[in-house]
Amino acid sequence: MIENVGRVRPQSALSGVLKYWAPPIIWMSALFFFSTDAFSGENTGSLLLDVFNFIYPGISEDLFDTIHFFIRKTAHFTVYAILASLLFRAFRSGDAARWRWKWAFSSLLIAAGYALLDEYHQRFTRHRGASIYDSLIDTSGAATALFLLWLLGRKKGTIP
């Protein structure tokens, strides 16, 4: 009888692919849902206004509109930073190398393309509109995340 003590069972190709590619695909699906009318400025604004009225009763409409705008644009930046990080991880797929420019460029290209498709999708919703500026914010978030990954790798000495 042969025992498999101490041996590591190789992963199947499918489980390896799913391990690394499922997170960005799920995240992209969530972004698609976020770009529907359910997350339009009107809907998020009314919910956020209730929160702000509880925290800061009597908030002026101008101040609230400014805060709401800032929160929405920060969300654009952040969710695409997360997407770029997940894509980079997927391209890396457990490789011993910590950084390859090809992975970063591919991650940025997909994130930027998806940002454009996301804005295009919003053209067909009732309460949303397409904005190239939002796509630029999205792409900036992706580029910033990749830059921070590169910087972190340089600081740790894992990237020459």
| Rounded CA separation 84/22 (Å) | 14
pLDDT under 70: residue ranges of the chain: 1-13, 37-41, 43, 160
Domain ranges of the chain: 21-35+76-156
State the Cα–Cα distance between residues 18 and 25, nearest whole angstrom.
10
Whole-number pLDDT of residue 118: 92
d(CA 95, CA 89): 10
Q: What is the pLDDT of residue 37?
A: 67
Q: How is residue 24 written in tokens? A: 């960005």
> pTM of the prediction?
0.83
